[in-house]
């Protein structure tokens, strides 16, 4: 197994190549280190390599790691239950997984109490997979129109978890439609809504995602190695 530093260097090179290939700037793309199931010591190695933005999909894991890592920011990328918003509202920089008005309203309420404005992404279930969270592409505009009324939320863009595929090219069309959805919704000129973030692409397909306009790629396995889930 290569070490984390080498893994990051390899990914960095691929990000640069994909950006160049599509006429984009490297600095317009954030490499979000997905640290779920990874212990603090290994995460610190990635942080020391400059990856200071970390993604977790469970509230509990953010709470456990929050005090132990300094000078980092946390992104919640997994499904968020309404009753857990209060635990992380003052701890995360962005919530990538907003897929209902009810959840947005709770985030808004807690953000107001904390006197902050929370940046969020709307999660889109692009291929309408049953196993996945997210709003359907058809319902995304109306959800955003409703969230736009909430004063303590800033809608920064869209997020998707693309299907698991053998060949990343199979997801190119999905990423392309995500980009188009963002452009179309911006063209609606909804008050307070101008989206610029596309959070899409993971270890398997981040290069294709970048070529199609991703501004955040969420990478776990390629940085830290295969995840080991604790036995229940
Ligand atoms: C785990 C996870 C990732 C990272 O997946 P890898 O294939 O390990 O890079 C990205 N996004 C979400 C929402 C995840 O849960």
Give 38-52 pLDDT, tens digit per residue: 999 999 999 999 999
Residue 2 is predicted with a pLDDT of: 62
Average pLDDT over residues 168-193: 97
pLDDT at 105 > cutoff 50 = yes
Average pLDDT over residues 68-91: 98
Which of 55, 97, 99, 210 best tests ligand 1's pocket when mutated (most atoms within 8 Å of CB)?
55
Three-class SS state of 181:
helix
Ligand 1, atom nearest to 222 Cα: 9
Pair 31, 226: CB distance under 8 Å: no
Model pTM above 0.85: yes
Alpha carbon of 151 to ligand 1 centroid (Å): 30
Ligand 1, atom nearest to 77 Cα: 13
How distant is the alpha carbon of residue 198 from its chain centre?
A: 8
Give 18-69 pLDDT, tens digit per residue: 999 999 999 999 999 999 999 999 999 999 999 999 999 999 999 999 999 9
Alpha carbon of 95 to ligand 1 centroid (Å): 14
Average pLDDT over residues 215-219: 98
189 burial via Cβ count (<10 Å: 0-12, 13-18, 19+): exposed
């Amino acid at each position: 197994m290569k070490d984390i530093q080498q893994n990051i260097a390899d990914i960095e090179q691929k990000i640069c190549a994909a950006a160049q290939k599509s006429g984009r700037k490297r600095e317009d793309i954030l490499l979000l280190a997905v640290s779920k199931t990874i212990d603090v010591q290994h995460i610190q190695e990635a942080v020391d390599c400059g990856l200071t933005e970390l993604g977790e999909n469970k509230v509990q894991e953010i709470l456990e790691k929050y005090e132990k890592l300094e000078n980092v920011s946390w992104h919640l990328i997994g499904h968020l239950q309404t009753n857990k918003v209060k635990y992380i509202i003052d701890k995360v920089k962005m919530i990538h997984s907003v897929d209902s008005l009810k959840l947005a309203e709770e985030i808004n309420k807690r953000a107001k109490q904390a006197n902050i404005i929370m940046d969020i992404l709307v999660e889109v279930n692009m291929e309408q997979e049953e196993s996945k969270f997210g709003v359907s592409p058809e319902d995304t505009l109306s959800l955003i129109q409703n969230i736009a009324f909430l004063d303590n939320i800033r809608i920064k863009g869209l997020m998707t978890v693309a299907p698991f595929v053998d060949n990343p090219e199979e997801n190119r069309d999905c990423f392309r439609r995500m980009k188009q959805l963002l452009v179309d919704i911006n063209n609606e000129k909804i008050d307070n809504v101008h989206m610029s973030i596309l959070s899409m692409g993971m270890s398997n397909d981040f290069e294709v995602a970048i070529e199609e306009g991703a501004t955040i790629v969420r990478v776990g396995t390629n940085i830290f190695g295969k995840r080991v889930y604790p036995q229940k």
